[in-house]
Homo-oligomer: A and B are copies of this chain.
């Protein structure tokens, strides 16, 4: 049986066979038979744009299931749209392909995209497939709509606000640690491979969150970004950081501190005034996404992790970067 590039058709045939069907619900994509896509936000709305790339050996392993690689490439972008209060509508994809992926790999990759398109209601609108002598990479530009002026910024946290985070923190970091040690904790590995963009929660935070972002560099590092641009200080209570049972089992007493500086969570971290606490609780309930109150915004700068007696906990590094 042919494998790798030998069994792949040329670029145009590949696009027609595999990628064009992913565009069928987007009239402005012209079935990928033109050079560009066309898009117009509905009246009173703006377009929100995000570009993020995932690279073999950096963000995923060559041996990961191809559908998981595809979904991660898409979801790391959707996660940003969610945290900004936007609803996704489409994406462009540049796929840099070495010789080794064969048609079975590519079909599984496309099936992963198709599943997420159906789950999240968006379409492939265009892209580029290029050979590369290097690592496989997937660069996605995702687009969504928000009501004009309603995008939730990083800058906006106010002294006195509470700090919240969705879901559980540190699972992806735990999953990566497990993979590196050739161990198996499926629920943590799944969280590393296929993050969950909080698309039901994000739009509910419009007009409620004063600042918001998705946690990709690590909880403390990303809250540090909010603190920097909002010109405030953020205190996080280590004991309040929401942790999965699997992560507590893996990391024991260190779990909260390690989770706070792990990357790739793709949860939403946000701030909101104390008088909106009930609204946050309601948004969590309606969206089906757990939200935990983990700290507060105070005067000053930077971000600090506190133990149960209010003492600062040293963290090894303030975040994870893929750089």
Contact = CB atoms under 8 A, between A and B. Distances in A.
Interface residues of A, number: 68
A79 to B, nearest CB: 9
B38 A47 contact: yes
Interface stretch (A86-94, A237-245, A246-254): A86-94
A304 B51 CA distance: 40
Contacts of A37: 48-50
Top-7 shortest CB links A-B: A134-B134, A134-B135, A139-B139, A51-B92, A11-B323, A53-B94, A141-B141
A129 B321 CA distance: 10
Interface in A153-179: 153-155
A10 B318 CA distance: 13
A51 B133 contact: no
A151 B52 contact: no
Interface stretch (A17-25, A55-63, A109-117, A290-298): A55-63
Interface in A273-292: none
B50 A35 contact: yes
A189 interface: no
A235 interface: no
